Amino acid sequence: MVKASDDQLWQWLSQVADPEIPVISVVDLGIVRGWQWLDHERLEVMITPTYSGCPALQEIADDIRTALEQHGLNAVTISTQLSPAWTTDWMSESGKQKLRDYGIAPPAQKASEQVVENAIDISAMLNLNAPAIACPQCGSSHTRLISQFGSTACKALYRCTGCLEPFDYFKPH
Amino acid sequence: MDSEKFIWLLRNGDNALILSQRLSEWCGKGPALEEDMALTNTALDLLGQATLWLSYAGEHGGAGRDEDQLAFLRDAPQFRNVLLVEQPNHDYADTLMRQFYFDVWHYEWLQALAASNDQRVASIAAKSVSEVRYHLRRSTDLLVRLGDGSVESHRCMQSAADQWWSYTGEFFSSDDIDQAMATRGVAPLPETLHAKWIAHLTQSFDAATLTLPPAEAWMHRGGKQGRHSEHLGYLLAEMQFLQRAYPGAQW
C-alpha cells in the first residue's frame, strides 16, 4: 500500500482520545512526538509519558496501534521517548479550550515560568505569586486549592468560592 | 560489564523504589483523603522514576535482568538505597519530615544529573525533576505550616527533624563508585550538593520556626554499600511476596 502522508497521520492520531480525559486527543496533549517509516510499510510512532509513573501510557500505546490498524497500518510499533521531557507547555490552544468545556481548568501558567533554578529561594519555590485559577464553570477567579493531587497524576482539586462547585485543575508541569 | 555504573544506577533506582514502597503503605490510611492521595501520587511518581533507572541498570551490566527482576528478585544486601528511605513511616510528622529531607536532596541531585554527559542519565533526570519540583514544593509548604502551626504540630515536626537527622549525612558521602562517576562526568560528587541542601533547609526551618539539628552530628552510613537496617528486610518481604511465592507471575 501507499505510505500515509504526514498530514494524514496527524489527522488519524488526532482522533485518538486520552484514556483518562476522553475529550482531548493524545496529539492535543503533546504525547505523540513523531514517527518514522522503518520501510515501506512498517511505522514507528514515538510517544512520551506525561508523568513517569502514568499508568495510562500502555493503554495509549494500544489505542494508537488500534487506531492505525483501522486505517490499514498493520505494522506499527510504539516506542517511548523521554527527552525532551513532556510539559503542559506543549498543550494546544484547542486542547485547553476542550478541557475548559469539559470542566477541567487548563494550566494557568507556563511550566517554564515556575522553574526555580535556585530552590534556596523558598518563596519562589512555593510559587506564591502563581496566578489565580479561573473556575471552568462560572469563570470566577475566587477559587481555592482543596488537594494538591486529584483523580490522576496530572490534576489538582480546586473549589470555586463563587459558584461553590469543585473542579479539577490540570497542573502546569 | 561496567559494574561501577551498574551499582550507581541501582542506587538511584533503589532510592526511588524503596521510598515509593514506604509511601504506598499509607494507601487507605492517610490522616485525610487529600493527604492519602498526595502520598500515593508521590509514590507513583517515584515508582515511575525507579522503573526508568532500573531498566537502564538492567541493560547496563544487569546480566539480562529487567527492572522487574531487579526490583523483586534481589535480597536486602543487593539493594543500594540510602538508609533514610527504608526507615519506617512511624507517625505522620515522621513521614513528612523524611520526605522533606529527601525531596530537598533529590531535587538538587536531579538538577545536577540533568547536565550529565551520559544522555540517558540526563534524560531520566530531566524527566524526574519536574515531578520532584512539585514534591519539594509540597514538602516545604507542609514543613512551614506544621512547624509554625500548633504547639503540638511544632513539637512533632521538631522531634521528627531530630530523629531523622543522622540519616541525612549519607546523601553527601562519597565512595569509590561516586568518585568514578564524577571522573567520567556522569554525576557530580555527592558532597558538592551539601551547601545548597543546607541553604534550603535553613530558610525553610526559619520560616517554620524549627531548629536545625547540628551540622557536626554523627551520621549513619552503609545503605549505599548494601549494609542496611533490619527494616529493609521486612519491607522487601512484603514488596516481593508475590514474585517469591509465584515465580514469574505476570499481570
Q: Is the pLDDT of residue A2 over 70?
A: no
Gap between the terminal Cα atoms of chain B = 31
Which three cell numbers mark B230? 533490619
**What is the crossing angle of helices B119-147 and B151-164, to 10°?**
140
CA distance B105 to B95: 16
Query: Model confidence over B175-202: pLDDT tens digits?
Result: 999 999 999 999 999 999 999 999 999 9
| Residue among B5, B2, B42, B1 at smallest CA distance from B22 | B42
Most confident stretch, A151-165, B52-66, B112-126: B112-126
Q: Is the pLDDT of residue B130 over 70?
A: yes
- Strands A104-105, A166-170: pairing kind: parallel
Q: Distance (Å) from the C-alpha of residue B40 to the closest C-alpha of chain A?
A: 9
Average pLDDT over all residues of chain B:
96
Name residue B88's amino acid. P
CA distance B133 to B155: 27
Contact between chains at A51 and B204 (C-beta distance less than 8 A):
no
Contact between chains at A147 and B107 (C-beta distance less than 8 A):
no
Q: CB under 8 Å, gap of 24 or more: what pairs does A135-141 form? A: A135/A105, A135/A160, A135/A162, A135/A163, A135/A165, A135/A167, A136/A99, A136/A100, A136/A101, A136/A102, A136/A103, A136/A104, A136/A105, A136/A167, A137/A103, A137/A163, A137/A165, A137/A167, A138/A162, A138/A163, A138/A165
Q: What is the pLDDT of residue A46?
A: 97
Laid out side by side, the sheet with A43-47 consists of A32-37, A43-47, A76-80
pLDDT category of residue B63 using cuts at 50, 70 and 90: confident
Helix (H) or strand (E) holding B208, with range, is none
| Residue among A133, A125, A124, A136 at smallest CA distance from A163 | A136
* Nearest residue of B to residue A81, measured between CA atoms: B123
Contact of A153 with chain B, judged by CB distance below 8 Å, is answered with yes
Other Cβ atoms closer than 10 A to B114: 18
ipTM field: 0.90
Comparing A4 with B198, the larger pLDDT belongs to B198
Query: Model confidence over B148-180: pLDDT tens digits?
Result: 999 999 999 999 999 999 999 999 999 999 999
CB B28 within 8 A of CB B37: no
Cβ-Cβ contacts under 8 Å for B210 (sequence gap 6 or more): B143, B147, B154, B157, B158, B161
Query: Grid cell 488519524 — which residue?
Result: A12
Which three cell numbers mark A118? 535556585
pLDDT category of residue A122 using cuts at 50, 70 and 90: confident
Q: What is the pLDDT of residue B120?
A: 97
Radius of gyration, CA atoms only, chain B: 18
Collapse the DSSP code of A146 into the 3-class scheme (helix H, G, I; strand E, B; otherwise coil) and give the result.
strand
pLDDT above 90: percentage of residues in chain B: 95
| Residue among B29, B33, B65, A31 at smallest CA distance from B13 | B65
Query: Model confidence over A21-80: pLDDT tens digits?
Result: 999 999 999 999 999 999 988 999 999 999 999 888 999 999 999 999 999 999 999 999
Collapse the DSSP code of B224 into the 3-class scheme (helix H, G, I; strand E, B; otherwise coil) and give the result.
helix
Q: Is the pLDDT of residue B53 over 60?
A: yes
**Which residues is A167 bridged to in the sheet?**
A158
pLDDT category of residue A125 using cuts at 50, 70 and 90: confident
* Nearest residue of A to residue B112, measured between CA atoms: A117
| Residue among A102, A76, A131 at smallest CA distance from A21 | A102
Q: Distance (Å) from the C-alpha of residue B197 to the closest C-alpha of chain A?
A: 8
Q: What is the pLDDT of residue A45?
A: 97
pLDDT above 70: percentage of residues in chain A: 94
Q: What is the pLDDT of residue A100?
A: 95
Q: Distance (Å) from the C-alpha of residue B98 to the closest C-alpha of chain A?
A: 18
* Angle (CA) A34 A36 A40, round 5°: 145
Which three cell numbers mark B114? 540533568
Contact of A150 with chain B, judged by CB distance below 8 Å, is answered with yes
Average pLDDT over residues A109-127: 73
User: A54: which chain B residues are within 8 Å (Cβ-Cβ)?
Assistant: 48
Within 13 Å of residue B195, how many CA atoms lie on the same side as its CB? 3
Contact between chains at A153 and B136 (C-beta distance less than 8 A):
no
Cross-chain CB nearest to A125 (options B46, B119, B137): B137
Contact between chains at B41 and A87 (C-beta distance less than 8 A):
no
Average pLDDT over all residues of chain A:
90
User: B38: which chain A residues are within 8 Å (Cβ-Cβ)?
Assistant: 147-149
Average pLDDT over residues B6-21: 98
Q: What is the pLDDT of residue A120?
A: 64
Which three cell numbers mark B145? 505550616
What are the backbone angles phi and psi of residue A3, rounded to the nearest 5°? Answer: -60, 140
Average pLDDT over residues B64-74: 94
Contact between chains at B52 and A52 (C-beta distance less than 8 A):
yes
Radius of gyration, CA atoms only, chain A: 18
Collapse the DSSP code of A42 into the 3-class scheme (helix H, G, I; strand E, B; otherwise coil) and give the result.
coil
Q: Is the pLDDT of residue A156 over 90?
A: yes
Cis preceding linkage at A84, omega within 30:
yes
Contact of A128 with chain B, judged by CB distance below 8 Å, is answered with no
Contact between chains at B45 and A120 (C-beta distance less than 8 A):
no
* Nearest residue of B to residue A147, measured between CA atoms: B34
Query: Grid cell 473549589 — which residue?
Result: A159
pLDDT category of residue A112 using cuts at 50, 70 and 90: confident
Among B36, B39, B40, B137, most A C-beta atoms within 10 A, so best to mutate, is B137
